[in-house]
Amino acid sequence: MRLTKWAAVAAFPIVWTMAGRPDTRARADGPSALPGTAPLTLQGDIASQLVAGVDRFLLRKTAESAAKRPAFWTDETAARANRARLASILGVTDPRVPFEAPELVETTDRPALIGKGGRFEAFAVRWPAFGDVHGEGLLLVPTGGAKLADVVAIPDAGQTPEQVVGLEPGVEPAAQFARRLAESGCRVIVPVLIDRGVEARNGRSRLSTREFLYRPAFELGRTPTGYEVQKVLAAVDWFTRGQKTDPRVGVFGWGEGGRVALFAAALDARIDAAGVSGYFDRREGLWTEPLDRNVFGLLERFGDAEVAALVAPRALVVEAAKGPEFVVPTGTGGGPGRLTTPDPSSVRAEVERARGLTRGRGPASRLDLVKSGDGTGPAGSTAALAAFLDALGAGSVPADDGSPPRTTGPLPDAAARRARQAYEIRRHNEWLLAGAEDARRAYFSKLDISSLAGFTKTVEPYRRAFRDDVIGRFADPLLPANPRTRKVYDEPRYDGYEVVLDVWPDVIAYGILLVPKGIPQGERRPTVVCQHGLEGRPQDVADPKKQNPAYNQFAIRLAERGFVTFAPQNLYIFQDRFRTLQRKANPLKATLFSVIVPQHQQITDWLKSLPFVDGARIGFYGLSYGGKSAMRIPPLVSNYALSICSADFNEWVYKNASTRAPYSYVWSGEYEIFEFDLGHTFNYAEMATLIAPRPFMVERGHFDGVGVDEMVAYEFAKVRFLYEAKLGIGDRCELEWFVGPHTIHGVGTYEFLHKHLKWPKP
């Protein structure tokens, strides 16, 4: 509950100056609070406590996610919508390429036939999947009888097709499930998956191949897993092409291959049975897995049980087995993560949850749980393969006669094949990037920019889409702000207060308020929220003892000009501590800004309540990561009357998705920076569109390494065209160039603030 002025006077002793304003200088008995607020007694590093609180909040939301999913599973219509949603968030959206049959891959030195087993022959093959991307691997053709079923047998990302066929060492015979399926009479395609090998990327970060491809793909609405699902479904296209009498179709995979098999079967009803080994589990720990497994919004509707429910009533065999053991090397610049063997009891619990979801929803579903040994044995046990083949109506697994297959010539060059597969996906990402601007233009086709009135009527659906589908939104109502303050600066021209506000349980907002001295009683001043950048703190911009050359004390300089200023603590501090918040948020269909935006809503609501602040004249000014904030927060916080983006404005999608630009985030350690499918929805010009018709400005140093002038100018030209040529408000849109680096210049931007916040220059 906010205190009235007179209640505040009663609660806190105030001395009124001759100028008619309260004297808030520190008292001899300790720091004083701002009138109308409670004393701030919180000790220690408040920024650290803020980050820790958000971490608890997100972990709680993750734990609660399973209980909220039934709301999305009301009937079969909802299930169909969920299947479409799963395809969208995996990025299984590119049209596949029709083809007659896989190509035999041979050279002048090596025939396509590379090996023979007692009951099959193995050929090196590839097949078109989507765009110019191919699946590649082995085709195992049964000999001595008709094929009983068609199966895609998917190894883990750390295996080669030859290993799970037994043509090269690395996989024990008991786990060579592709070989055993071929020996059982199945025609089998064994695709290669993108590997987890770590390499130096452009001399800046060492990333796994999967993460290197994930980063631009995610920005463009795709994922490595989705690409691999497409390759599997392209093989299914061939299996089922134009022949009504074809045998049944199955997919079976281990580890990463099990993940791909599960998603493929959930998305495509032509798959009659699926086998998943060494993967099926609770998925609330997704944020701990390698970054390439990140799926935006997965846990909103799906754990493994819900994905399994999309397979029903078709058959699914889950094998509790040893999974891939992998830890992303530390110090590489990539996202941390690890893979471990699923706990058998956890596997069983998730299977039981899946059975509960499918019970009573239609035809009886077949969902078998099979253990390999004690639940941690090798993949593809006889029991698991027997259940899988039984579900396909393909007989049983013959006894292993101990005769391994033999090579008939040189094996494919595995390293060259991996490189081809990675190159094709990298090229496809670049192709998507080239078409992204046209896609955004089509996305915004319903926005009326013929007039300011038409714009105002049609822009709100885009703001909602940005809030709900890009930034992400938690529906929790804001708590009462319960402001707590303490005076920390008493300078000749301003006073400074640390401020803490409640936002949600465990979530606070924190910052420093600078109040110019001598404000006449009853006068309401314009306010500027001054936002720090990466690893920054409010003190970097508001502490008179700190001289950070990037910020040039801009909160202080503005307070000296008569503005009230507030410097918030944003979440992007403490390196992996905050970056893993993004990992926790993404599966919930959320981002860091899903928390930061409500923090700023609470901050600006509180600022508006102060007797010396004009709530209609609150501006936002941020540098670097604060500039990122300037593009994302004001579109969603209507309390902001204008926004200034300093040292960040860019052709943002290109900066995130290009594997050519040397300043791209693809090469850097900021693994949390990528936002799902911005490429086809909101670049910086489109975000600025959501700020319009409020004033908007860019501050750009010619020698700022975040980008190059040409790209900044290219993107800004779209904003300028909207403001000036279409809406007729060109005086509200500016870009200031200056000769300098990544810093607050504070010349044209200060003029902009004085002009649009209607405050006279000193």
On whether residue 68 sits in a domain, the answer given is: no
On whether residue 331 sits in a domain, the answer given is: yes
On whether residue 761 sits in a domain, the answer given is: no
Q: What band does 245 get if pLDDT is binned at 50, 70 and 90?
A: low
Confidence check: pLDDT of 406 > 70: yes
On whether residue 665 sits in a domain, the answer given is: no
Q: What band does 667 get if pLDDT is binned at 50, 70 and 90?
A: very high
Q: What is the pTM of this model?
A: 0.94
- 272-355-392 Cα angle (round to 5): 20
Confidence check: pLDDT of 344 > 50: yes
Phi, psi dihedral angles at 44 (to 5 degrees): 85, -165
Please say whether the beta carbons of 332 and 206 come within 8 A. yes
Based on the fold, state whether residues 42 and 96 are members of the same structural domain.
no
| Whole-Å CA distances, 654 to 564, 660, 722 | 37, 9, 21
Residues 52-111: tens digit of each pLDDT: 999 999 999 999 999 999 999 988 899 999 999 999 999 999 999 999 999 999 999 999
Q: What band does 27 get if pLDDT is binned at 50, 70 and 90?
A: very low
Based on the fold, state whether residues 12 and 150 are members of the same structural domain.
no
Confidence check: pLDDT of 189 > 60: yes
Q: What pLDDT score was predicted for residue 10?
A: 29
On whether residue 599 sits in a domain, the answer given is: yes
Q: What band does 41 get if pLDDT is binned at 50, 70 and 90?
A: very high
Based on the fold, state whether residues 19 and 110 are members of the same structural domain.
no
- Final residue of a structural domain among 432, 466, 488: 432
Spatial separation of the C-alpha atoms in residues 414 and 197, rounded to whole Å: 13
In the chain, DSSP finds a helix count (H) and a strand count (E) of: 24, 27
Spatial separation of the C-alpha atoms in residues 175 and 179, rounded to whole Å: 9
Based on the fold, state whether residues 366 and 479 are members of the same structural domain.
no
Mean pLDDT over the full length of the chain? 93
Based on the fold, state whether residues 387 and 480 are members of the same structural domain.
no
Q: What pLDDT score was predicted for residue 4?
A: 35
Q: Give the containing element (helix H, strand E) for 495.
A: strand 494-504
Q: What band does 255 get if pLDDT is binned at 50, 70 and 90?
A: very high
The whole-angstrom distance between residue 154's C-alpha and the CA centroid of its chain comes to 26
Q: What pLDDT score was predicted for residue 583?
A: 98
Based on the fold, state whether residues 511 and 370 are members of the same structural domain.
no
Percent of the residues in the chain that have a pLDDT greater than 90, as a whole number: 89
Encoded tokens for 427: 């090229």
Give the CA diameter of the chain: 105
The whole-angstrom distance between residue 86's C-alpha and the CA centroid of its chain comes to 15
Q: What pLDDT score was predicted for residue 399?
A: 78
Based on the fold, state whether residues 353 and 483 are members of the same structural domain.
no
Based on the fold, state whether residues 600 and 736 are members of the same structural domain.
yes
Domain count, the chain: 2
Inter-axis angle of helices 46-68 and 576-585, to 10 degrees? 20
Please say whether the beta carbons of 280 and 330 come within 8 A. no
Spatial separation of the C-alpha atoms in residues 381 and 373, rounded to whole Å: 8
- Final residue of a structural domain among 404, 432, 460: 432
- Final residue of a structural domain among 374, 399, 432: 432
Residues 107-146: tens digit of each pLDDT: 999 999 999 998 999 999 999 999 999 999 999 999 987 7
Q: What pLDDT score was predicted for residue 52?
A: 98
Based on the fold, state whether residues 39 and 116 are members of the same structural domain.
no
Over residues 197-204, the mean pLDDT reads: 84
On whether residue 483 sits in a domain, the answer given is: yes
Confidence check: pLDDT of 43 > 60: yes
CATH number at residue 217: 3.40.50.1820
Cis previous bond, 313, omega within 30: yes
Based on the fold, state whether residues 517 and 623 are members of the same structural domain.
yes
Q: Give residue 425's domain range.
A: 73-432
Q: Which residue has the tokens 């291959």?
A: 257
Comparing C-alpha atoms, which of 647, 644, 648 is closest to residue 750? 644
Confidence check: pLDDT of 205 > 70: yes
- 722-726-728 Cα angle (round to 5): 100
Confidence check: pLDDT of 223 > 90: yes
Based on the fold, state whether residues 22 and 170 are members of the same structural domain.
no
Confidence check: pLDDT of 2 > 60: no
Encoded tokens for 356: 């509960």
The CB density around residue 361, as the number of other CB atoms within 10 Å, is: 15
On whether residue 164 sits in a domain, the answer given is: yes
- For residues 270 and 6, the model is more confident at 270
* Encoded amino acid at 608, one letter: K
Phi, psi dihedral angles at 139 (to 5 degrees): -115, 120
On whether residue 674 sits in a domain, the answer given is: no
Q: What pLDDT score was predicted for residue 696?
A: 99
Q: What band does 26 get if pLDDT is binned at 50, 70 and 90?
A: very low
Based on the fold, state whether residues 625 and 739 are members of the same structural domain.
yes
